């Protein structure tokens, strides 16, 4: 209950901190893979692998414009987001729902580096909480992400890596205990 209240407060405050006058809806589709570690993990064996598929909706600022002269432009924002997805472990797939917020740094560069590259993108730290499985067991996540916009289009590609935690879900823990999974994922998305 307290976690839900904290998420609602952060998400309601986030629109006031945007660098742009308006927020845009962004949708990302993500696929990831990573090991699962339980408290009963055998240190001499290999960890089991979990795969992750999800769709994320966030309300974010527009991409930064390229600087007029060669150089960099930076801005920061808080982005509220909602996620639905599926995680597969030991041939057992379970759906999940998450709400979260990410602290995002936006950048744009014009004619920088040895090859005089111009690019726009962003990077973030994210915190998410949710429920997984039919028993709605607790799930949490902390992640670091990075992306690039494809030219001046509204399409982006990127990656995210983070740690997922599961409380009391026997699919992942084998018992009513805790488990965690380090995930590396690639995503494709864009703004509407």
| Cα atoms in the Cβ-side hemisphere of radius 13 Å centred on 145 | 29
CA geometry: angle 112, 118, 119, nearest 5 deg: 115
Please check the confidence at residue 103 and state whether its pLDDT lies above 50. yes
Task: Give me the percent of the chain exceeding a pLDDT of 90.
Answer: 58
* 137-149 and 155-167 beta bridge pairing: antiparallel
Q: Does domain 2-191 have CATH number 2.30.29?
A: no
Q: Report how far residue 129's alpha carbon sits from residue 149's, in angstroms, rounded to the nearest whole number.
A: 27
Q: For residue range 63-97, what is the model confidence (pLDDT) as tens digits?
A: 999 999 999 999 999 999 999 999 988 778 889 99
Q: What value does the mean pLDDT take over residues 47-75?
A: 92
Domain residue spans of the chain: 2-191
* Amino acid 134: pLDDT: 84
Report pLDDT for 90: 77
**Tokens 């390229």, residue located:** 66
Cβ burial of 5 (10 Å; 0-12, 13-18, 19+) is exposed
Q: What is the pLDDT of residue 10?
A: 45
pLDDT 10s digits, 30-43: 999 998 877 665 55
The pLDDT assigned to 166 comes to: 82
**In the block, residue with structure tokens 């991409």:** 63
Helix and strand numbers, DSSP H then E, in the chain: 2, 8
């Amino acid at each position: 209950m307290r976690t839900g209240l904290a998420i609602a407060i952060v998400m309601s405050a986030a629109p006031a901190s945007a660098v742009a006058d308006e927020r845009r809806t962004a949708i990302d589709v993500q696929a990831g893979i990573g090991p699962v570690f339980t408290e009963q993990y055998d240190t001499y064996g290999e960890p089991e692998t979990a795969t992750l598929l999800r769709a994320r909706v966030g309300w974010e600022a527009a991409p930064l414009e390229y600087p007029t002269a060669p150089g960099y432009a930076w801005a920061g924002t808080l982005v509220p987001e909602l996620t639905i997805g599926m995680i597969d472990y030991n041939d057992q797939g379970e759906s999940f729902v998450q709400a979260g917020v990410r602290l995002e740094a936006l950048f744009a560069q014009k004619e920088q580096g040895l090859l005089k590259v111009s690019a726009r993108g962003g990077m973030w730290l994210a915190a998410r909480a949710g429920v997984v499985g039919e028993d709605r067991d607790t799930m949490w996540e902390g992640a670091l992400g990075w992306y690039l916009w494809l030219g001046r289009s509204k399409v982006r590609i990127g990656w995210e890596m983070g740690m997922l935690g599961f409380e009391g879900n026997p699919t992942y823990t084998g018992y009513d205990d805790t488990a965690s999974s380090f995930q590396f994922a690639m995503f494709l998305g864009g703004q509407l």
